[in-house]
Amino acid sequence: MKPGWEAVIGLETHVELNTKSKMFCSCPADIPDEPNTACCPVCLALPGALPVPNEKAIEGIVKIGLALNCEINQSSLFYRKNYFYPDLPKNYQISQYTFPVCEHGSVPVDVGDESVTVGITRVHMEEDTGKSTHVGEGGGRIHDADHTLLDFNRAGVPLVEIVTEPDIRSPEEARAYGAELQRIVLALGVSDAKLETGSMRFDANVSVRRIGDETLGTRSETKNVNSLRSLQRAVAYEIERQIQVLESGGSIHQETRHWNEDSGETTSMRTKEESEDYRYFQDPDLLPLDVSPEWRNAIASTIPELPAVQRARYVASGVDAKTAELLADTAALSSLFEEAVEAGAPGRAVGIWLTGDVVGHVRRDDGDLDAISLTAAHLVELASMVDGGKLSSSAAKEVLLAAVEGEGSPSEIAAARDLIQVSDSGAIEAAVDAVLAENQDAVEKIMAGDAKPIGFLMGQVMREMGGKADPNVVRELLHAKTNP
Ligand code: ADP
Ligand code: MG
Ligand code: ZN
């Protein structure tokens, strides 16, 4: 960032819950491809239809709130947020305003080697809109469309909005927060949290100010950013753009902007509504929502281990923070890692093998991993073979990848490929004695204090042993026998 400036960022994140039915009716929330086949009078807002809140969705939002260290309001209220949009059949969205389900939370986020805490202002319950498809020459853009197709299947799908305090200070922090939130939601199992399909999406509020300024600058809001990489890029772009505008004497307008992935720019969509424009009022069709302490506690008891705790556990078993993150983020690896460590394998070595060699070997072009035939028992065996000097570290890697390919257990593979190292010191000692006898000049140099020929002698012994002597044993013997 340009010296003298500071960025201030607050993120709003929408998460579609994976409940069976929609938020206020019994239509399926796992929406069918065929347009307008999952709609009813309630989600189409036909006159007289009455909404009934989805209990599972409330459990979902309470889980998210608890995982983000929020207070859960026992009583919360549903509001109507009024605006006209073609894919909003009611012409209002049922949302929350004052008294959301969850408030005043915080989430620790690791950014590189540092940890920052992002405040959570609120987590509230609302419903998703339908989908518009603009048809025509313009490649799906509304301005060039001949006509627009409306699909109300998604209208009424439970949507949770998570709003942060303006605590984020850099594009990297914004991305790290987004990634951590996604992990948390996935761990809770309340959404598939897929950015590419929009079941999780970000709005980035960005402003800048001169370092030392106490008041916040005017913000722009970049809507519906749909990947972590785009989130980082969009925030970085906005920071630079706003600094340039301000430095050249201009001013920032509070507006909604759109991120264009191809050009790597944000463009203005419309000036931003103030909340007064939405004419919020309490929905007369819905009673205050009551989350009793008993219900809250019952939900709390179902919350699984959260990703940060899982990573800390991995670090405690010997891996570094980056490796812990990679392991925890990849289900296929984390279960192998946990089982192997549980069975006594050293965490550090197993972590490096899995996140380095194994991932490098099985990662496909699309980023997913191919099936791994490796088992935890293999990892335990491999580690003990290395530990006992039976395999060199490079032979261990060869054996590891063969086990990944399903060639058998490490001892079988090592035997079949003739990779077992000799660490029996009797055999090695004979070879060492033979080499020393043939190289008396080198021995004299070493005894006179010149350590250089040791490397040469090591090489000779290894050759004598067909490359399969444990180098540690060879080195020790050479030192012992050339020390006056
Ligand atoms: P709205 O619905 O108008 O977008 P919200 O209160 O829901 O308002 O969300 C506002 C978001 O913008 C929050 O994440 C908040 O932290 C962030 N924010 C508010 N003011 C600023 C500012 N000056 N600069 C950056 N972010 C801001
Ligand atoms: Mg907003
Ligand atoms: Zn319905």
**Closest C-alpha to ligand 1, atom 13:** 10
Mean pLDDT of 139-144: 72
Mean per-residue pLDDT, 446-469: 84
Do 315 and 346 share a structural domain? yes
Task: Name the domain boundary from 250, 273, 299.
Answer: 299
Greater confidence, 448 or 127? 127
Q: What phi and psi values does residue 473 have, to the nearest 5 degrees?
A: -65, -40
Angstrom CA distances, 397 to 349, 355, 356, 413, 431, stand at 11, 13, 10, 12, 27
> How many angstroms separate the alpha carbon of residue 25 from the centre of ligand 3?
5
Residue 52, phi then psi, degrees to nearest 5: -130, 120
By DSSP bridging, strand 71-72 and strand 281-282 are unpaired
Which helix H or strand E contains 5, and what residues bound it?
strand 5-16
Percent of the chain, pLDDT > 70? 98
* Total number of domains in the chain: 3
Ligand 1 geometric centre to CA of 89 (Å) = 27
Residue 139: pLDDT band (50, 70, 90) is low
Both 196 and 272 in one domain: the answer is: yes
Q: Say if ligand 1 is within 6 A of residue 221 CB.
A: yes
Ligand 1, residue 205: give the atom nearest the CA. 26
Residues 1-15 pLDDT 10s: 788 999 999 999 999
Regarding whether 64 and 36 lie in a shared domain, the answer is: yes
pLDDT digits (tens, 9 = 90+) for 14-35: 999 999 999 999 999 999 999 9
Specify the pLDDT at position 142. 73
Contact of 132 with 149, CB cutoff 8 Å: yes
Beta strand 200-210 pairing with 158-164: unpaired
Segment 367-382, tens digit of pLDDT: 777 778 889 999 999 9
Domain match, 316 and 273 both: no
Asked if 183 and 244 sit in the same domain, the reply is yes
pTM for the complete prediction? 0.87
Question: Rounded to 5 degrees, what are φ and ψ at 103?
Answer: -145, 165
CA of 447 to the centre of ligand 1 (A): 75
Q: How far is the CA of 203 from the centre of ligand 2 (A)?
A: 7
For residues 56 and 340, give the distance between their C-alpha atoms in angstroms, rounded to a whole number. Answer: 36
Average the pLDDT over each of 110-119, 334-343, 410-419 and give the range with the smallest value: 410-419
Q: Domain containing 459 — which CATH number?
A: 1.10.10.410
Do 142 and 231 lie in a common domain?
Answer: yes
Sheet holding 255-260, edge to edge: 71-72, 102-111, 114-127, 158-164, 5-16, 200-210, 220-225, 255-260, 265-271
Residue 477's pLDDT band, with cuts at 50, 70 and 90, is confident
Asked whether 163 lines ligand 1 (CB < 6 A), one says yes
Verify that 288 and 410 share a domain, yes or no: no
Confidence (pLDDT) at 457: 87
- Mean pLDDT is highest, among 202-216, 264-278, 429-443, for 202-216
pLDDT in tens, 346-400: 999 999 999 988 888 888 887 777 778 889 999 999 999 988 888 888 889 999 9
Q: Same domain, yes or no, for 474 and 407?
A: no
**Is the pLDDT reported for residue 273 higher than 80?**
no
What band does 54 get if pLDDT is binned at 50, 70 and 90? very high
Distance in Å, CA 344 to ligand 2 centroid: 50
8 Å CB contact between 127 and 15: no
How much is the average pLDDT of 211-232?
Answer: 94
Condensed to tens digits (0 to 9), the pLDDT of residues 459-470 reads 888 888 777 788
Host domain of residue 23: 5-299
Q: pLDDT confidence of 61, banded at 50, 70, 90?
A: very high
Whether residue 166 sits in one domain with residue 209:
yes
Same domain, 397 and 467: no
pLDDT one-digit tens code per residue, 179-219: 999 999 999 999 999 999 999 999 999 999 999 999 999 99
Atom nearest to 167 CA in ligand 1: 16
Residues 254 and 313 in one domain: no
What pLDDT, on the 0 to 100 scale, is given for residue 484?
60
Final residue in a domain of this structure, among 299, 333, 363: 299
Cβ of 255 less than 6 Å from ligand 1: no
Indicate whether 316 pLDDT > 90: yes
Q: Ligand 1: which of 5, 11, 12 to mutate, judged by most atoms within 8 Å of the beta carbon?
A: 12
- Identity (one letter) of the amino acid at 257? R
Pocket flag, ligand 1, residue 100 (CB < 6 Å): no
Structural domain ending residue among the three candidates 396, 416, 436: 416
Q: At 106, is the pLDDT very low, low, confident or very high (cuts 50, 70, 90)?
A: very high
Mean pLDDT of the chain: 91
* Residues 347, 462 share a domain: no
Alpha helices by DSSP H, 70-199:
171-188
Distance 340 CA to ligand 3 centre (A): 48
